Amino acid sequence: MVDINPPTSENPSVIVPVHPAIEGYMRGLVEKTDHPVLLEMEELAVQKSFPIVNRLVGIFLETQAKMIGAKHVFEFGSGYGYSAYWFARAVGTDGRVICSDGNGENKGRAERFLASAGLWDRIEFNVGMAGDIFAQTDGPFDICYNDVDKGEYPEIWKMARERIRPGGLYIADNVLWHGRVAVESYTDIVLGWTEAIVAHNQMIFNDPDFDAFINPVRDGVIVARRKDG
């Protein structure tokens, strides 16, 4: 078998799930989704090395939300609104995206960007710990989207799974953690995060009430659908 993702000498344990040439090809197919606000948000991510989901995953999120007619989405870890941009497009004028982020500066940035895109009136942006905000927000939810600090993934899954409607989705980013979940020896960014993601993924795939799949684009996005009835 040809190894198209050779480990680098810089970090022998980290592997890129999808070959960069394939991601580049896929990115080229979606140029029609360019929007001035989106380009500005993507530029800011580069400048600040801020981990937004990126264009391909954004389109994936919007598509997933549209496929189930989502109107009520909760985001754990919204940053400055990039992933919310895609969910807000999907939920339409009568839908709501509840955002949460621990950094208050992100709320101001999100408001500026999403207002420019004509989407701010679909957003409720709360500053604070995502789990606390979730506990104070009425459900059930069509989608719970998790993108907080990775050590918290198992707890967020446990609290979210209860409050997703039948047929609704749990989605989480970074579940391949640049390949660390798939190798025995790795260097983690924060001690314990890889173990937390591994435990999170295992719980979801073992949960009898959900069907799950990982889309390996970028850093891996898990989608788990709550079974009906």
Q: Which residues bind ligand SAM (CB under 6 A)?
A: 51-53, 77-79, 82-83, 100-103, 106, 129-130, 147-149, 152
**Closer residue to ligand SAM in complex, CB, 7/50:** 50
CB of 222 to ligand SAM, least distance (A): 14
Task: Give the count of beta carbons closer than 10 Å to the beta carbon of residue 106.
Answer: 19
Contact 90, 169 (CB under 8 A): no
CA distance 212 to 225: 6
**Backbone phi and psi for residue 195, each to the nearest 5 degrees, phi listed first:** -60, -40
**Closer residue to ligand SAM in complex, CB, 82/141:** 82
CB of 184 to ligand SAM, least distance (A): 26
DSSP 8-class letter at 41: H
Class of residue 190 by CB neighbours under 10 A (exposed 0-12, middle 13-18, buried 19+): exposed
Which residues are registered as beta bridge partners of 73?
Answer: 97, 143
CB of 3 to ligand SAM, least distance (A): 29
CA distance 109 to 102: 13
**Closer residue to ligand SAM in complex, CB, 145/210:** 145
**Closer residue to ligand SAM in complex, CB, 65/130:** 130
CA distance 85 to 30: 16
CB of 74 to ligand SAM, least distance (A): 12
CB of 209 to ligand SAM, least distance (A): 25
Q: Which helix (H) or strand (E) holds 129?
A: none
Tell me the two tokens of residue 106. Answer: 């992100």
**Closer residue to ligand SAM in complex, CB, 130/144:** 130
CA distance 131 to 69: 25
**Closer residue to ligand SAM in complex, CB, 7/159:** 159
CB of 83 to ligand SAM, least distance (A): 4
